[in-house]
Structure 1
Amino acid sequence: MERYMVIVTIFCMVITRISCCDIVKLTFPSGFKIGTASAAYQVEGAWNVSDKGENIWDHWTHNYPEYIRDGRNGDVACNSYYKYKEDVALIKSIGFDFYRFSISWSRVLPNGFANEINEEGIQYYKNLTEELLANGIEPIVTIYHWDHPMILEELGGWTNELMVEWFADYARVIFDALGPLVKTFITINEPSVYCGNGYNTTRHSPGKVLENMGHYICIHNTLKAHATVYHMYDDEYRSEQQGQISLTTQCDGWYLNDDSNATLVDQAFQFNCGWVVHPVFVGDYPEIMKTRIAMISELEGYPFSRLPEFSDEWVEYIKGTADFFGLNHYTSYILTADPDEESGIYNIDSGIIKSVNTSYPVGSLAWMSIAPEGFGNLLRMIRDQYDNPPVQIFENGYCDLGELDDYDRITYYNSYMTELLSVINNDNCNVVRYTAWSLMDNFEWSDGYTVNFGIVSVNLTDPDRARTSKLSTSWWRSVMETRTVQDVPTSV
């Protein structure tokens, strides 16, 4: 009860920011699109059927289960490879406008290269796409969501610049197969997450800790790959397929507190969000990143900066490769300058220590706090930094332990969407799409099945992986029916 009262308090704090005469502003603008999402490895299962090849998460979970909190894997996951029609029926019953899903590279190209195309794998995604369209649901395709074929990782993965060419070959297969049906493509999902966790820690596959520079090399090649595919689509497919394409990145928000100042906030933003999007929307890495990493690298004795340098040609080639700003956002942090730097000790390239505001409710992961004002701060920063681009939010959601009466999740969505409508209506932020992560409970990477983001429950002990609606399922159904943010239901 005490936790529920805290949740209600946060809800009331958000509501009081909107006057009675502004309640109408809880209605979504005309043309605003709302949907839900998943990712291939997290939901599909069928990890080795129909000639699918091994990907890096297959390899990681099978060979290093100790790095997964519950030691489990995505071999079956939600079984969506076989249950996609049921998933589409769920999406339709809730009333979502679109469904964002990703392609498994190794299901389409089992050996990673375009010389061997798996037609059964392609057909699965065609079937899913056609099923969505037949039910009036817009398909949005993510070409890469962290699961490239293992053979490519053995060749260096994203630390090998040849991945630029290999990814472009793979993307061409997807454009040829799905482009006539799909009008929104995301090239790559959250580069800073898979690069940071996979090439600088053992938190994610491939779990390589590479001299505190593997993640920088990974992003460098990822941005080249994204730009190459963007230009390929622009030059060869756009005129006929008439679609839009960009990448999506994870960006944190922040609380404004007594220690906050514009310099600190900008520094944190550039190292977190600007790292990926500054080269796309402005050109090259943020100056603060180049300066600090070069300086710290020199102090560490490196004869070069750990942050690679783009040539002038690459700077120009990457700049402008976005039809929209793809954003994933979950939570916000208190920002503090590392005090050791006053003594000339540099522990963190960013120089920023992040912490969670303990006065706010926290989800089943320690970093997951309900902090909608940080969401607003972030959206206003994007508006100001990048000339108010059209923002498409492709992930936003809350984790718990799988409760069917998921009041905390509803409170999260209510407060974040209220904040979203506030910045649209009051701050002129150009947000045009919102995605609830995720459709159903699934394999949550290094956390396995110990935490849940779904608005639909999945019975993981049932071989059929039966789906069960949660309280948030019906809440979302009401949102979609009214196109208005709904109140948080009263707990019994």
Structure 2
Amino acid sequence: MPQKNYFDNDFLFGSAAAAYHFEGAWNKDGKGVAVADVVPGTQDKRTQKPEKGNLKHRAVEFYDRYKEDVALFGELGLRSFRTSIAWSRIYPTGIEEEPNEKGLEFYDNLFDELLSHGIEPVITITHSGEMPLYLADNYNGFANKEVIDYYTKFVQTVVERYQDKVRYWLTFNEVNGTQKEPFFYGGVSQEPDTITEELKCQVDHNMFVANSKAIEIIKSINSDLQIGCTTIQGLFYPLTSKPEDILQAYKDNRDRFFYTDIHVFGEYPSYKLKEFKDYGFDLDITDNELKLLKEHTVDFVAYSYYQSEVTKADSIDSASTVVNVDNDLKNPYLSYNEWDWSIDPVGLRTLANVLHDRYQLPQFIVENGHSQIEKLEEDEHGNLTVEDDYRIYTLREHLIQLNKALEDGVNIIGYTNWAVMDFVSGTTGTMEKRWGFIYVDFHDDLTGTMKRYKKKSFDWYKRVIESNGEYLGNS
């Protein structure tokens, strides 16, 4: 029996990207060097300066090809498209008095192009890896409170400029990534072995303050604009029903929700304050900052969901870190992709319900997808494509579970899968890890035509959107 469809006509079916992943033109039209420009491979392993071989410098040339790409997005039928504004394209070092007009003009043109195809821009003000390198190397990124002011100047500039074109704003991308990768997510450029857990918590606090200041600025410009801040989410399941494992899973989930707790509730939970005290952390937190956090909170909960995880009581040394770390435990009830990520569509429904009960705010799933090593092949008509049935299956199962979450009563306003097209992977720095509905002929050895080809999933997702989700019950 077909599942009843609960997606309403306003649901923002969409897809996503981010500036450093796909724009390229890393030093064109006045753009400055960004953190990602010195991270050629896996995140947080940098070079001292930009070097040849960093695929992000060219990426997939969206900066120069945006019109043809947005035309494809329009053909796909996207209702929304999430991307970011490259901070160093607007303020090349971050400390300029005046913004780079060429950079501002690019995003004016991009947003106009999206809107002309009926696509709602969902804009991350700064994605991970996009801080101007100058702020990282000369100020130590968000370890330094001065950077908050440079960030909020950037916020003021772009929101004033684009307030009539962009309704949905995200202040940061996946802010809870700072604990594992403080350089890539927070611009902390001091030697990695000198970065203490206390400093990471200070960085988090400074980014909380920056988030609330950004909300204050955005609402003062236009109170109707909607604001979120993305985190990485995915529930921890206890490995067994052993009470100690259940307690560990509870604590791990609480740590994962910590960032969103502050974004929504505007205050530090008591357990976290106790942790700071127990660890002897002496953070620079002022009463005015705590007041700011309380008064300026998000309008919706935005998050990336790729997988769930399992945990057990003795999986880590609990004294080693304030925030629990990922582990190598496997869930025997789930399959895993070639990157060793679990595939858990039901986990998305469960998570959506948990977040609904916890926050009572609208939710926006801004990243969720399937990556695989792929190559072009001829279809039955002789056209080059990718027969990516595995992507169709994975996305379909996740969207079916989203539909069930809507049936449960969860308020979900949109879904922008990762990703609309192939581009440079953030976790590997390669092209071989492909995410998109659109294949881009560009490879890790810098060869390729850059031609775009529609994968099988392109037509499938188009039908899903055209049917407002109804097709999910029949495909």
Q: Scaled by the length of structure 2, what TM-score is found?
A: 0.87
Assess, with a 3 A threshold, how the Cα gap between structure 1 residues 204 and 335 changes in structure 2: closer, same or farther. Answer: farther
* SS of aligned partner of 1:323: coil
* SS of aligned partner of 2:229: strand
Give a deviation string over 1:163-215, Cα, whole Å, max 9, x none: 11110001111012211211111111111114531349999988834023343
- Correspondence for 2:265 among 279, 282, 285: 282
**Is 1:30 equivalent to 2:9 in the alignment?**
yes
Q: Which amino acid aligns with 1:253?
A: L
The corresponding residue for 1:322 is 298
* SS of aligned partner of 1:337: coil
* SS of aligned partner of 2:83: strand
The corresponding residue for 2:336 is 362
The corresponding residue for 1:300 is none
After TM superposition, the structure 1 = structure 2 runs for residues 166-315 of structure 1, keeping only pairs within 5 Å, are 166-199=150-183, 208-209=192-193, 210-235=195-220, 237-239=221-223, 242-255=224-237, 258-259=240-241, 263-274=247-258, 276-295=259-278, 297=279, 304-305=280-281, 308=283, 310-315=285-290
- Contact 2:94-2:132 at 8 Å conserved across structures: yes
* SS of aligned partner of 2:124: strand
Deviation, structure 1 residue 402? 2.5
After TM superposition, the structure 1 = structure 2 runs for residues 326-341 of structure 1, keeping only pairs within 5 Å, are 326-338=302-314
- Correspondence for 1:389 among 357, 361, 374: 361
Assess, with a 3 A threshold, how the Cα gap between structure 1 residues 116 and 339 changes in structure 2: closer, same or farther. Answer: closer
Distance 1:36 1:351 in 2: 30
Distance 1:212 1:189 in 2: 21
Deviation, structure 1 residue 289? 3.1
**Is 1:129 equivalent to 2:126 in the alignment?**
no
**Is 1:140 equivalent to 2:122 in the alignment?**
yes
* SS of aligned partner of 1:398: coil
- Correspondence for 1:416 among 398, 406, 425: 398
- Contact 1:423-1:429 at 8 Å conserved across structures: yes
Distance 1:484 1:340 in 2: 41
The corresponding residue for 2:460 is 475
- Contact 2:303-2:367 at 8 Å conserved across structures: yes
Pairwise CA RMSD: 3.0
Q: Which amino acid aligns with 1:380?
A: N
Distance 2:204 2:281 in 1: 15
The corresponding residue for 1:301 is none
Q: Which amino acid aligns with 1:103?
A: I
The corresponding residue for 2:469 is 484
The corresponding residue for 1:438 is 419
Assess, with a 3 A threshold, how the Cα gap between structure 1 residues 125 and 214 changes in structure 2: closer, same or farther. Answer: same
Distance 2:316 2:62 in 1: 49
Deviation, structure 1 residue 348? 4.0
Assess, with a 3 A threshold, how the Cα gap between structure 1 residues 194 and 406 changes in structure 2: closer, same or farther. Answer: farther
Distance 1:44 1:118 in 2: 17
- Contact 1:183-1:244 at 8 Å conserved across structures: yes
Assess, with a 3 A threshold, how the Cα gap between structure 1 residues 170 and 243 changes in structure 2: closer, same or farther. Answer: same
- Contact 2:3-2:473 at 8 Å conserved across structures: no
Deviation, structure 1 residue 346? 2.3
* SS of aligned partner of 1:131: helix
* SS of aligned partner of 1:447: coil
Give a deviation string over 1:319-359, Cα, whole Å, max 9, x none: 34111111211110112122676xxx723434676423254
Distance 2:437 2:242 in 1: 35
The corresponding residue for 2:37 is 58
- Contact 1:407-1:489 at 8 Å conserved across structures: no
Number of residue-to-residue matches in the alignment: 450
The corresponding residue for 2:380 is none
Give a deviation string over 1:382-421, Cα, whole Å, max 9, x none: 11221x2111111111111135222222121111111111
Distance 2:30 2:323 in 1: 44
Distance 1:421 1:266 in 2: 26
Assess, with a 3 A threshold, how the Cα gap between structure 1 residues 282 and 27 changes in structure 2: closer, same or farther. Answer: closer
- Contact 1:84-1:128 at 8 Å conserved across structures: yes
After TM superposition, the structure 1 = structure 2 runs for residues 32-51 of structure 1, keeping only pairs within 5 Å, are 32-51=11-30
* SS of aligned partner of 1:186: strand
Deviation, structure 1 residue 250? 1.3
The corresponding residue for 2:379 is none
